[in-house]
Structure 1
Amino acid sequence: MTVSLERPVQAHGLTEQPPATKDLLERFAPVFAAIAATTVHSEATRTLAHDAVSLLKGSGFTAIRVPLEFGGSGATLAQSLLLLRELGAADSNLVQALRAHFTTVETLVSGTDAAAKERWLPRVVAGDVFGNATTEKGNAPGTNSTVLTEEEGRTVLNGTKYYSTGSLYADWIKVSADTATGESVRVSVHRSAPGVELVDDWDGFGQRLTASGTTRFSNVEVAAENIDASGGVEGVGFGAAYVQAILLVALGGIARAVRRDAVDYVRGRERAFSHGVGDSPQRDPLVQEVVGRISSTVFAIDAVLDAVGARIQNAAVLSAAGNLDAGATAELDTELSEAQIFIVEQTLEVANRLFEVGGASAASETRGLDRHWRNARVLGQHNPVIYRARAVGQQRLTGDHRTTPIYVGTTAPNGANA
């Protein structure tokens, strides 16, 4: 039986109440404001956001999902997505850079491994951050060229990863690797371990500060307790949706930033076009219409993301109770793909429309307004919309296709997966 994800689901046996959303927003508002004040300069000079990440760690933001009993904030999953959206309005780079961290923390919080919770959650509260090293070049989908082998009584890791988002900011790097027997595992490696090389070579025109560079592992010794079975939060019913939702809230943050910057830009203008229809930019009906359309679109994006957060929250509670069946999982994944199609396209639309509110001064690099479109375009390249739209169409028409899992790898010359 498929369980509805639309109605709120109450968790059974919950011993602590989550903090009020209003209190969380007020607590982190100064942190987000401080980050937003530096974003344009950081983007222009390509200054990696180490200071901003330190600020987030010191404020407890990176531990918002950690339960109160471990010293965290005890925020709900939906609250964490809302706060990440607010961070995205300050700097979308940081949301994507912390995607692996929040995914890892969610694995711990939603999992049943008590020993893992006791070991890692206090470290998260102390400020440890997780990064990612998953993607490779030349590997077949679902496999890893990075290997974990036994050599002279040691377990060592060797391989090269690309698009290692967030690892330059991280303390621990979660690495996907294959063993000699072909089993896929997740390995936790400290960034300072001998043989770990982090390279800042991400050259994308957007999301420049996500620290998505190359990571090399050369005979890195790995302790047995730092090797886990592959899967993590992506392996549970709501996991794929949660991982995708983090990218969507980053886009939602960009949309909010566009609305903010459109209003600030027009309010600060004094010059008007001779062929305009108002005595000031603020009173020009055409400019007002543009701002109104931007604001309306952002309202719709926010509404979709609110629904996404509620759906995933309910799915997580059902999953913890063992009541999230395959039908509900397929529907959740399809709904997230529907949300992705809308949010990607509409965020790009408002980021482009932003330039209609002014003249040449809107193109000034000192304003950095172009970063919104660039960042949204690069975020939209993840899990490309063309494939998600097709998958949704098939699911709605025939019900015989799930929109997950997603693997990337080299294909054979005839187009078939290698």
Structure 2
Amino acid sequence: MVYLQLLVVLGAIFIGVRMGGIGLGVTGGAGLFILTFGFGLKPGHAPIDVILIIISVITASAALQSARGLDYMVALAARFLRRSPRHIVLLAPLVGWLSTFLAGTGFIALALMPIVVEVAEKTGIRPERPLAGLTVASQNAIVACPVSAATVALAAVLAPHGVALTDIIMISIPATLLGTLAGGLTMLRYGRELAGDPVYRQRLADGLARPDPAADAQGLPRTAAWSVYGFLATVALIVLLAALPQLRPAWPGAHGMEPVAMVDVIQMCMLGYAALAMMVCKADLHAMAAGGMFRSGAVAAVTILGAAWMSDTFIQANLPLFQHNIVSIVHAAPWLFACAVFTMAVILFSQGATTKVMMPLGVSLGLAPPLLIAIYPAVVGVYVLPSYPSIIAAVEMDYTGTTRIGRWVFNHSFILPGLVTTTVSIAAGFALQALR
């Protein structure tokens, strides 16, 4: 019976991934219906907290975008990259990591991609090298960002075990930075030199290798900079309140005075920032709701609702079986659980959904919170299948044609820097935990 249930779960995930968009959320809901009414499983916990946080964070990010704050950040990044064009292979991943860490969304890399391609091509550097590193690093930074859906989900899972948000980011920030640097280093000599690439030479002959115009900070309103500073201040406030719970309002509870939960703090701060951005920085309310940022958040929320709820139902119903057969293996070789998390990330196409599905399982199997924090970068396996939006965008934006998806699907430009980045990030996480 368990195998039939697993077949339903995997079938729902496979069909949903093939459908794209909110397909995974919809098929996850259908799979949940079959598990509940067909097999009689008690529905698990719907990831309401995570969904509410995603909605609030995406609302704040949409306000930042509408106030031209993202354009301002991109223009600054472009200016920085153009000052050191010869070092772009290493600088591009670091800039991508920092941009995602500050903005809270990996899709900010899409705005940086044309700049990276242009600077690399004009310097005679194969654009595939910095572009692949940038794309992977922008997703890797999700693990380090304190307000990303994945990090907040992990914090919610580990909070009952005495783990604070600061405990997570103190490991994930340096670990992912080291991983990002390692991924960039692997691309220093990757592929043919640009001048000798036959695809690029053919595109030059056909007149197709032409750069797109880049953003300019001079043409942006002053409020664009204000919106960025306000967003960074809001993130800093969230980190401060996580590190010093005594600053949060508290009320009598079952365990004495209990401060307001961080999941609620994040929602309040993000929605408060969005309100200030609309009033002070002239963020357009209608543009926020109609923009791509808000739509991507809605897709993520539906995906997590269906896929995570279905997976949690299956896991909780069969948890005794998993614990009996897996717990000894996982404790003997924790890296096997990291492989399981990575595989699920490849399937689910979402760091947040993977965290919500797999980390509660890790807790149920008895894995210690420090171990789960070290394994956390494994949720960035979204780059393995070359159908993730930022990967497709990178291939399309490289007008030189050097960034490609291979004939065998998996031999694409992002697989090597991605695997190196993830492996080094996890290894660094284990090393940092050992030093604490």
* TM-score exceeds 0.5: no
Which one has a larger percent strand, Structure 1 or Structure 2? 1
Alignment TM-score, normalising by the size of structure 2: 0.32
Compute the TM-score of the two structures, normalised by the length of structure 1: 0.33
The structure showing larger relative contact order (alpha-carbon pairs under 8 Å, at least 6 residues apart) is 2
Report the structure, 1 or 2, having the larger helix content. 2
